[in-house]
Amino acid sequence: MSGGSGTFLNGAGAADAPSFYIVVGKNLNTTFAGTVRDSSSLRTTTITKVGTGIWTLTGTNTYSGTTTLSAGALLVNGSDAAATNTVTVATAGTLGGNGIIGGNTTVSGNLSPGTSIGKLTFNQNLTLAPSSTSILELSKLLLTNDVVRVLGNVTYNGSLTALNVSPDAFEAGDSFQLFNARSYSGAFTDLSLHSLEFGLEWETNSLATNGTLSIIAMTNAPYF
What is the residue-level pLDDT of the chain in tens, covering all 224 positions? 788 888 998 888 878 889 999 999 899 999 999 999 999 989 999 999 999 999 999 999 999 999 999 999 999 999 999 999 999 999 999 999 999 999 999 999 999 999 889 999 999 999 999 999 999 999 988 889 999 999 999 999 999 999 999 999 999 999 999 999 999 999 999 999 999 999 999 999 999 999 999 999 987 655 44
φ, ψ of residue 102 to 5 degrees: the values are: -85, -30
Nearest to 37 by CA among 83, 100, 103, 71: 83
pLDDT of residue 220: 67
Report CA Rg, the chain.
19
Q: Cα separations (Å) of 84 from 50, 104, 120?
A: 21, 7, 16
pLDDT of residue 222: 54
Instruction: Write the pLDDT tens digit of every residue in 34-85.
Output: 999 999 989 999 999 999 999 999 999 999 999 999 999 999 999 999 999 9
CA 218 – CA 220 distance, rounded (Å): 6
Task: Compute the Cα dihedral for 95, 96, 99, 105 and give only its sign.
Answer: positive
Task: Compute the Cα dihedral for 219, 220, 221, 224 and give only its sign.
Answer: positive
pLDDT of residue 143: 87
pLDDT of residue 224: 46
